[in-house]
Structure 1
Amino acid sequence: MIPTTILTGFLGAGKTTLLNRLLKEPHGHRIAVIENEFGAENIDNEILVQDSNEQIVEMNNGCICCTVRGDLIGALSTLAIRRNAGELQFDHVVIETTGLANPGPVAQTFFMDEEVSLHYMLDAVITIVDAKHGMQQLDDREEAQRQVGFADRILLSKTDLCSPEEVAQLTARLKRINPRAPITSNSLDGLPISGLLDLRGFNLNDKLDIDPDFLAEAEHVHDEHCGHDHGHGHDHEHGEHCNHHDHHNHTDDIAAFVFRSQRPFDTARLDNFLGGLIQVFGPRMLRYKGILYMQGADRKVVFQGVHQTMGSDIGAPWLDDEERGSKMVFIGVNLPQDVFLQGLEQCLV
């Protein structure tokens, strides 16, 4: 299985800068970069021979650049065939989406297409955000919000053009949209390439990365403003939902919320409810992931999904001294949080 990274970010964020580094620097990794030549930013002009008819060009540093003239599935299949035949050597793939792209369909390719899922494993979605223009782009363009919502890791570029206060304000907003993606604000020129590979951000595993500050903030806001009865042995983390005083002056269509409970789920009820959610709200559900405590199970159940594609797996055993409970995060477009949270509560034993 070839680990694959999806690189996304709005127009001008710095994807080309990072791709040029991948294809030029002697970093010691053998990476195949799949670049969409119909994008507004092309690396062809700077790197590839203009009159070359080759779809795949090998670089001096051992990397490969593949310009997608057809569909992505065809490009991935061609690379896999040539790698298996010994014609090409690479051990990681980076796919650049165009600046206006929704990364969702690209991510779904790795689960929906049998040929692709046979050879490739989606490692992570990395989103570059232009610190100077990020606030405005998030205000104006839903694509920018989607790119943040899908991210397993967020890279801030052009922070040298901003004040520390501006960077802090943008960082706080990004965390509200996506609390599970670590944010790095190093210069793209100085960022180690190895730090972008093998992040395992998309793998099903027991670690559910949610920013602890987000949870603390959500809990604080929840306690102050929501007035719900917490006497049932479980609690909801509503995030922005309960924040009636909007001191940020930014209302994002895409936001995250978290459900937590110490009571176990009834398996049949949860399956039915999640199936219904995906049918009704699937296109608006960008990313969702959770560690589930199921009735009668001595192991954790790990689940995650993209839009209508959901998968689950058996996780590690519950330890004797470990507090059992479920934690689920949902990131989506104008999702009715009360429907999700109250519905999940109804699935508890």
Structure 2
Amino acid sequence: MAGNQVPVTILTGFLGSGKTTLLNRILKEDHGHRIAVIENEFGEEGVDNDLLLQERDEQIVEMNNGCICCTVRGDLIRILGDLAERREAGEIAFDRVIIETTGMADPGPVAQTFFIDDEIADRYLLDAVITVVDAVHGDKQLDEHTEAQEQVGFADRILMSKVDLADPAAQERLRERLMRINPRAPIKPVNFGNAPIAEILDIRGFNLNAILEIDPEFLTSDEHEHNDAIQSFVFRSKKPFDPAKLEDFLSGVIQVYGPDLLRYKGVLFMKGSDRQTVFQGVHMMMGADTGRRWQPGEKPSSKMVFIGRNLPRDMIVKGLEQCLA
């Protein structure tokens, strides 16, 4: 079954960032992918709900380019299960899913769906969280809304929209700020919702064996003008970890700070192993996997990134140091 999993992209971004423009292009353009786009209202009472949906029903509409648009309310697990059954029965065809989290702050619960529910995990593979940030208003939104910071903290890739309208110096400042909040998400500019589909699909941001990307510039930039609640830090060590101590310590950190940990990820040097250990997590859910062998001439070392809300950085760093063998 595993080879047959449908890849899923979660598309998030603050109001007016250009998500909808992007989705409309995906639904209309001739890109050759059959994509099921789920616009998820998550039962929020929006102003226009009464106008849009007299009857509280899903609408599944097939578009001219073979994509499927699905406007849903309520339970994501039920919708995904329903779509998978219809696909298996040959009623509809799609080879990937994009979920737009309309007006929903933290993409975490949506991402966790793909780890918690076995039937969903068998049928779908969470590919990446993509966050669209408005180059003109993004800075102000990050100042005023921790939700906007959460969306950035969660991202595997950030698409910066309206770059043609933004002052270059302000844009560069915003870019540096985004990098401090989330050093592991590459930032790509988009014009008029014109992101090539390849920038959005098959990123494998949740694949434990994916390369741990940290922008090298992040490690050199240290001026923090913004006191963002969501911040990141990197832990590095050339000494090996004691596996039992590390597992105990990380379990404790997740128990206490899990709700405030958005994403954490690392490549670890474990005592007694000739292979890398790759780990990552979302909130309270953590997974680890054996990675590739350390190469001849390569100096084994550990590198971990933590992205979260008001994390006790010094306490976590000290604790990790105490787990070294």
TM bracket (short chain): over 0.9
Preserved CA contact (<8 Å) 2:161 2:193: no
Q: 2:254 aligns with which of 266, 269, 278?
A: 278
CA-based RMSD: 2.2
Preserved CA contact (<8 Å) 1:206 1:316: no
Verify: 1:144 aligned to 2:139, yes or no.
Answer: no
For these two proteins, the number of residue pairs brought into alignment is 319
Report Cα offsets for 1:165-219 as digits up to 9, x if no partner.
01101000000000000001121433211221101111111511111111233xx
Mapped to 1, the partners of 2:139 and 2:148 lie a distance apart of: 10
TM-score by length of 1: 0.87
What's 2:278 paired with?
302
Letter in 2 for 1:279: Q
What's 1:102 paired with?
106
Preserved CA contact (<8 Å) 1:10 1:100: no
What's 1:125 paired with?
129
* Greater Cα offset, 325-334 or 109-118: 109-118
Verify: 1:36 aligned to 2:40, yes or no.
Answer: yes
- 1:121 match: secondary structure: strand
Mapped to 1, the partners of 2:71 and 2:28 lie a distance apart of: 16
CA separation of 1:41 and 1:164: change in aligned 2, threshold 3 A: farther
Q: 2:90 aligns with which of 68, 75, 86?
A: 86
Q: 1:74 aligns with which of 78, 81, 94?
A: 78
Q: CA deviation at 1:320?
A: 1.3
- 2:227 match: secondary structure: coil
Verify: 1:342 aligned to 2:318, yes or no.
Answer: yes
- 1:251 match: secondary structure: coil
Q: CA deviation at 1:275?
A: 0.4
What's 1:236 paired with?
none
Mapped to 2, the partners of 1:53 and 1:11 lie a distance apart of: 25
Letter in 2 for 1:2: V
* Greater Cα offset, 254-263 or 152-161: 152-161
Verify: 1:328 aligned to 2:304, yes or no.
Answer: yes
Q: CA deviation at 1:277?
A: 0.4
- 1:139 match: secondary structure: helix
TM-score by length of 2: 0.93
Structure 1: gaps of 5 or more residues: 222-242
What's 1:56 paired with?
60
Mapped to 1, the partners of 2:176 and 2:156 lie a distance apart of: 16
What's 2:115 paired with?
111
Preserved CA contact (<8 Å) 2:22 2:194: no
- 1:329 match: secondary structure: strand
What's 2:213 paired with?
209
Mapped to 2, the partners of 1:180 and 1:100 lie a distance apart of: 22
Q: 2:242 aligns with which of 266, 289, 293?
A: 266
Mapped to 2, the partners of 1:42 and 1:268 lie a distance apart of: 53
Preserved CA contact (<8 Å) 1:36 1:68: yes
What's 1:23 paired with?
27
CA separation of 1:301 and 1:58: change in aligned 2, threshold 3 A: same
What's 1:232 paired with?
none
Preserved CA contact (<8 Å) 2:260 2:311: yes
Letter in 2 for 1:113: D
Preserved CA contact (<8 Å) 2:181 2:232: yes
- 1:16 match: secondary structure: helix
Letter in 1 for 2:282: V
Report Cα offsets for 1:140-162 as digits up to 9, x if no partner.
10100000000000011112221
